[in-house]
Structure 1
Amino acid sequence: MDQTVTDARARPERTARKEDAGKNASVPDSAASSDVKTMAARPPSRPGRRFRRVGALAITLAAICAVWLGNRYLISHTVEQFSMKPVDLTVELSGPGTLDAMRTSLISSRLQGVIATMRVDRNDRVSQGDVIAEIVTDDLKSELGASMASVDAARKAVDLAKADRQRAEAALANARLSFDRQETLLEKNAASKESYDNAVSTLRQAEADLNRSLAAIEQAKAQEQAAAATAAVQRVKLDDGTIRAPFDGVVVSRDHYVGDTITPGSEIVRLVDPASIVLSARFDESSIYRLSPGQKAIIRFNGAGKDSSIEAAVLRIDKQVDTETREFSVDLRPETLPPNWALGQRAMTTIAVDTRKGVLAVPNDAIERRQGKPGVWIIDSGRAYWIAVTLGDAGGPFVEVVQGLEPGDVILSEPRDVYFGMKIA
């Protein structure tokens, strides 16, 4: 009743305002009276509905939280576990390395000339003495021919000198007989002093001729030796025109081709002995006391896959440390080589340096670091908790735990999405 009276009292005022607005906005009178009736018929809102909606929302959120907490802390989760017990740990050192060769040769020419033929190319295998390349040596062949002619002439001169010696020896023998005869006749006063003197002079002349023939022989022999030496030099130069492999190996590079002019010392090909290939690995200087020749190692080349590993052994340890990186090099000799290899190829090597007996070790994947500190997730009373540990030496997929765990402890071997207090099946 009061509401109706109030609406009746307010109706003239609202109607007057509507009429004034209709004059300005050109609104029909029928529309204005319709709005008034609608407002008069709308029931008032009830405050209790708003509180019921808030309560339902709160109940829904509480149910969601209860389900989430129940799933998080009341439902058991199945995870991979690892039980701690003493084991024998093979301590290993890992480091990067590159392929190198201890026996390599930059094959070049000792002559200056034009390459006439090339017998090898990259990746070709050659044996010791095989022809690598040949240089144009027409001028050297001519010089060698002239030297050989000089040798022949010197040899004939020696033969001629020897013939003169035989003639001088015959003349000397005849002069000695004449001298002996004149000396005997002179003693018997059967010959004159003048005849005796002539015999002495003839003997001395024959002796001088023999000595001269002997000297001529030595001179001819010296000339023959000089000509032979010159010919030998020319022959060596001619042989230098044919470049041969100094040892068995593989051609890894080629810098010249047929028709190129080369100078003495310029590289033609590079030859590598596959048997001398080593892996030069680098390690921190703190590890040098743990290495020694003969230790076993494993080499894994980049991109070859985890299963493509090659056994090797430590060959030698360098005695010099890089002053900038504080690293030293270790040469490892691989037992075999992959089908495709290249000098400078990168690889990772793992060297077994020691075997520790009866130590506690955990898988590498079980380690989780927080703020730089290593730790593991331990299972206590059926729930997971993270604890800090002190690590020692590493060996393969395991790492030694010096402090923080005891035999019989159970940890998560591969923690994934683990949280504090998670219930473990």
Structure 2
Amino acid sequence: MNDQAQSVKRLLGADATRRRGLVMIGLVLLGVAAVGFWLLAPRQNGKPRYETQEVARGRLVVKVSATGNLQPTNQVDVGSELSGIIDKVFVDVNDRVRQGQVLARLDTRRLEDQVARSRAALTAAQAAVAQARATLQEARANLARLEEVARISGGKVPSQAELETARANVAKAEAQLSSSEAGVEQARATLRTDETNLAKASIRSPINGVVLARKVEPGQTVAASLQAPVLFTLAEDLTRMELQVNVDEADVGQVRPGQNATFTVDAWPGRKYPAVIERVAYGSQVTEGVVYYPTTLRVANDDLSLRPGMTATAEIVTASREDVLLVPNAALRFSPPRTTGKKKSSLLDALLPKPPRPQSRRISEEVKRRDGARQVWILKDGAPQPVEIKTGLTDGRMTEVLDGELKPGMLVIIDMDSPGT
């Protein structure tokens, strides 16, 4: 009895396994049939699907992008003409200063001693002049006395040699007076130089502005033997700044002084600052083989949110057109593929992978004709129809239509999908 029960169980298990196998085979056959139907079924009656965009009127703004840095309109490096030790520093970074204000002072003891020596030398030179004048006066009086004696005696006395000696003494006294007077001028010049050096020991601000950098501390030695060391960097007026950008050689022909621009900085994301082009340099700069032309833009910074050295990205408006007919640039690049005979494909061909279709058959490069005309395609009775137009300015996405048969509301083809894709 037990053997019969086990036989029944084995039979029932075999039947269940057979049924599951048949179900799996049926599912596989159903999947193959679905794939075959999907591959062989016609789509859209073998016609390609076109992607279109409407032609409309609007505003076209042509911009040139450039990157640069913000700078003060007048930045001055303040140094020292004299060598010495810094005694005191009176300002720090971000301090506002006035023209003539003392920023720092050198140790002046040695310079004061030089001024004292020069004044003493001037006094001595002036005394030498007084002595020379007295000597000259004495020599002239002696000569006059001898000449009077000679006149009274009828030339008998004094002798001719005595008269010549007296005249020579007068000439020497006159020369000595001239030399002493020159010594006075020299002593005065030396005194003025020493007084000027003493004044230069007080380093003063040449402009009204703000201290951007302080590069000196009390006790530091300043050596100005070869060139004047920079002690402070001042900016004249941070409410008026300059944006120095580099314009690519391909765009410089569109950029002119007086054009408006906007720029952004990383410190204030989302905020656009206005600017105006002030100067476009004729001289070029080459960076890594790329030719740039330095361009200066005037910037208002009344709220002092901008700081020198910030990196800015500017967009310069080179042209603006209002209420013009616009066509997408993708429509100017589109060209339908050439129609050729197409053989039927088998199921094996449909299942095998195919190489990618060359884009050049579907989208061509923008081609300008000799007369400046361009070509776009519109749908007419479900088929592409070429339309010639004359184009103007472009912002890289849309192009101005100057002439042609395009009208607002027309749909131009910008792309297509072939059957089976």
State the TM-score, normalizing by the size of structure 1.
0.65
Distance of aligned partners of 1:225 and 1:175 in 2 relative to their CA distance in 1, 3 Å threshold: same
Q: Which residue of 2 aligns with 1:67?
A: none
The counterpart of 1:296, out of the listed 260, 266, 269, is 260
Distance 1:84 1:273 in 2: 50
For 2:404 and 2:68, the matched residues in 1 are separated by: 35
CA distance in 1, matches of 2:168, 2:93: 70
Deviation at 1:203, TM superposition (A): 4.4
Question: What is the rounded CA distance, in whole Å, between the counterparts of 1:38 and 1:326 in structure 2?
Answer: 86
Q: Deviations over 1:279-335 (max 9, x none)?
A: 121222112222222222223223423343122223232421416342313332324
Question: 2:55–2:325: 8 Å Cα contact kept in structure 1?
Answer: no
Distance 1:212 1:175, change over 3 A: same
Match of 1:313 among 272, 277, 292: 277
Structure 1 residue 333 and structure 2 residue 333: aligned? no
Deviates more, 1:328-337 or 1:101-110: 101-110
Deviation string 1:133-154 (CA, Å, 9 cap, x unpaired) is: 1111211211221111011111
2:207 alignment counterpart = 247
Paired residue type of 2:319: D
Given that 1:299 and 1:312 are in contact with CA atoms closer than 8 Å, whether structure 2 keeps it comes out as no
**1:166-196, Cα deviation, whole Å (9 max, x unpaired):** 333333333333333223xxxxxxxxx6xx2
SS at match of 2:300: coil
Of 299, 303, 317, which residue of structure 2 is paired with 1:352? 317
- Structure 1 residues 379 and 316 mapped into 2: Cα distance closer, same or farther (>3 Å)? closer
Distance in 1 between residues matched to 2:126 and 2:163, nearest whole Å: 30
1:269 is matched with which residue?
Answer: 232
Residues 1:342 and 2:310 are matched in the alignment: no
Q: Distance in 2 between matches of 1:362 and 1:302?
A: 34
Do the aligned partners of 1:302 and 1:346 also contact (CA within 8 Å) in 2?
A: yes
Aligned positions of 1:99-110 closer than 5 A: 99-101=70-72, 103-110=74-81
Alignment partner of 2:288 out of 324, 330, 345: 324
1:356 Cα deviation from its structure 2 partner:
4.5
Q: Partners in 1 of 2:266 and 2:397 — Cα distance?
A: 19
CA 1:36 to 1:291, structure 2 compared with 1: closer, same or farther past 3 Å? closer
Alignment partner for residue 326 of structure 2, among 357, 361, 375? Answer: 361
Q: How far apart are residue 277 of structure 1 and its match?
A: 4.0
The offset of 1:373, in angstroms, is 8.1
CA contact (8 A) 2:248 2:293 kept: no
Letter of the structure 1 residue corresponding to residue 308 of structure 2 = L
The answer as to whether partners of 2:325 and 2:408 remain within 8 angstroms in 1 is no
Residue 164 (1) aligns with residue 129 (2): no
| TM-fit CA distance, 1:246 | 2.7
Counterpart residue type for residue 125 of structure 1: R
What is the deviation of 1:84? Answer: 0.4
Determine whether 1:233 maps to 2:193.
yes
Instruction: Call closer, same or farther: CA 1:303–1:277 in 2, change over 3 Å.
Output: closer
* Cα separation, partners in 2 of 1:361 and 1:304, compared to 1, 3 Å: farther
Greater Cα shift, 231-240 or 364-373: 364-373
- Superposed displacement of residue 229, structure 1: 2.3
What secondary structure, in the 3-state scheme, does the structure 1 residue paired with 2:270 have?
coil
Distance 1:263 1:279 in 2: 35
SS in 1 for 2:212: strand
- What SS does the aligned partner of 2:408 have? coil
Query: 1:120 is matched with which residue: 55, 68, 91?
Result: 91
Matched, 1:282 2:246: yes
- How much does 1:40 deviate? 11
Determine if contact 1:109/1:266 at 8 Å carries over to the other structure. yes
367 and 336 in structure 1: CA distance in 2 versus 1, 3 angstrom threshold: farther
User: Residue 158 of structure 2 aligns to which amino acid in structure 1?
Assistant: N
Higher alpha-carbon deviation: 269-278 or 104-113: 269-278
Cα 1:374–1:356 shift into 2, 3 Å: farther
**In the alignment, which residue of structure 2 is the partner of 1:84?**
56
Structure-2 separation of matches of 1:283 and 1:244:
38
Cα distance between partner residues in 2 of 1:132 and 1:373? 68
Q: Deviations over 1:41-86 (max 9, x none)?
A: 99x99x9xx79x98xx99xx9xxxxxxxxxxxxxxxxxxx97602x
CA contact (8 A) 2:255 2:280 kept: no
- Measured after TM superposition, the shift of residue 392 of structure 1 is 6.9
Q: Aligned AA for 1:273?
A: E
Give the Cα separation in 1 of the matches to 2:403 and 2:269: 35
CA distance in 1, matches of 2:244, 2:283: 14
Q: Secondary structure at the match of 1:322?
A: strand
8 Å CA contact 1:310–1:335 kept in 2: the answer is yes
Equivalent position SS for 2:66:
strand
Residues 232 and 39 of structure 1, relative CA distance in 2, 3 Å threshold: closer
In the alignment, which residue of structure 1 is the partner of 2:408?
408
Change (3 A) 1:368 1:239: farther
Q: Count residues in correspondence.
A: 356
User: Partner residue of 2:66?
Assistant: 95
CA distance in 1, matches of 2:255, 2:88: 49
* Distance of aligned partners of 1:145 and 1:373 in 2 relative to their CA distance in 1, 3 Å threshold: farther
Task: Please identify which structure carries the higher helix content.
Answer: 1
Cα distance in 1, alignment partners of residues 268 and 364 from structure 2: 34
- Over 3 Å counting, the alpha-carbon distance change for 1:147 and 1:351 in structure 2 is same
Output the amino acid matched with 2:408: G
Q: Tell me if the contact between 1:392 and 1:399 (Cα under 8 Å) persists in the aligned partners.
A: yes
Structure 2: any 5+ residue segments left out of the alignment? 35-52, 335-358, 367-376
Equivalent AA in structure 2 for residue 407 of structure 1? K
Match of 1:139 in 2: 110
Task: Tell me which residue corresponds to 2:372.
Answer: none
Query: Please, what TM-score do these two structures have when normalized by structure 2?
Result: 0.65
Partner of 1:416: none
Work out the CA distance in 2 between the residues paired with 1:40 and 1:204: 168
Superposition RMSD in Å = 5.1
Q: Deviations over 1:177-222 (max 9, x none)?
A: 3333223xxxxxxxxx6xx231755544443332222122112112
